[in-house]
């Protein structure tokens, strides 16, 4: 009986600690590191340009609107930076596809938008990483840039 109580206590302690480490954490990663991953590089072509934060770009000839995306991916048993990079790439694919649909050739002013908290940077993106799922939310303006 005592042995069962002790084992139950150990199980509950371990189980509880497991969930204590499962809280969502905001982490920042360099955009260039995510874009350098071979699997991510294969997704993007040169027809749509991406400009993060206040990065300089050519003259805008037409603006199609501001668009949001939020993509999640399984982060269980994966390196956090890799899972976040994949979620970021998925968000960029959504913005890229929107730009193509609208007739634009670029997405400018791309910012992280986790839980509608905007963070602008030319070099890093924000990822909400949990124990099982990671989330990257982006917002950007689809435009046509003169060539």
- Token representation of residue 93: 């694919």
Rounded to 5 degrees, what are φ and ψ at 21? -85, 5
The mean of the pLDDT values for the chain is 89
The whole-number average pLDDT for the span 137-146 is 98
Confidence check: pLDDT of 4 > 80: no
Q: For residues 11 and 91, which has the higher predicted lDDT (pLDDT)?
A: 91
Confidence check: pLDDT of 7 > 80: no
**Alpha-carbon separation of residue 128 from 33, 66, 139 (angstroms):** 17, 22, 15
> What superfamily does domain 22-145 belong to in CATH?
Hypothetical protein apc22750. Chain B (3.30.110.70)
Confidence check: pLDDT of 124 > 80: yes
Q: For residues 7 and 29, which has the higher predicted lDDT (pLDDT)?
A: 29
Rounded to 5 degrees, what are φ and ψ at 51? -125, 115
Confidence check: pLDDT of 48 > 90: yes
The whole-number average pLDDT for the span 30-57 is 92
Q: How many CB atoms lie within 10 A of CB 27?
A: 15
> What's the predicted TM-score (pTM) here?
0.82
Domain boundaries, the chain: 22-145
Confidence check: pLDDT of 50 > 90: yes
């Amino acid at each position: 009986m005592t042995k069962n109580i002790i084992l139950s206590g150990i199980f509950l302690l371990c189980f509880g600690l497991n969930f204590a480490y499962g809280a969502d954490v905001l982490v920042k990663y360099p955009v260039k590191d995510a874009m350098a991953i071979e699997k991510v590089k294969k997704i993007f072509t040169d027809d749509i340009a991406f400009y993060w934060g206040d990065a300089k770009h050519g003259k805008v000839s037409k603006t199609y609107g501001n668009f949001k995306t939020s993509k999640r991916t399984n982060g269980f048993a994966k390196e956090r930076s890799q899972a976040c990079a994949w979620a970021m790439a998925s968000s960029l694919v959504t913005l890229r596809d929107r730009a193509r649909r609208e007739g634009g050739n670029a997405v400018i002013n791309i910012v992280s938008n986790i839980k509608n908290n905007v963070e602008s940077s030319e070099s890093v993106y924000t990822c909400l990483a949990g124990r099982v799922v990671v989330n990257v939310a982006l917002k950007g303006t689809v435009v046509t840039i003169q060539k």
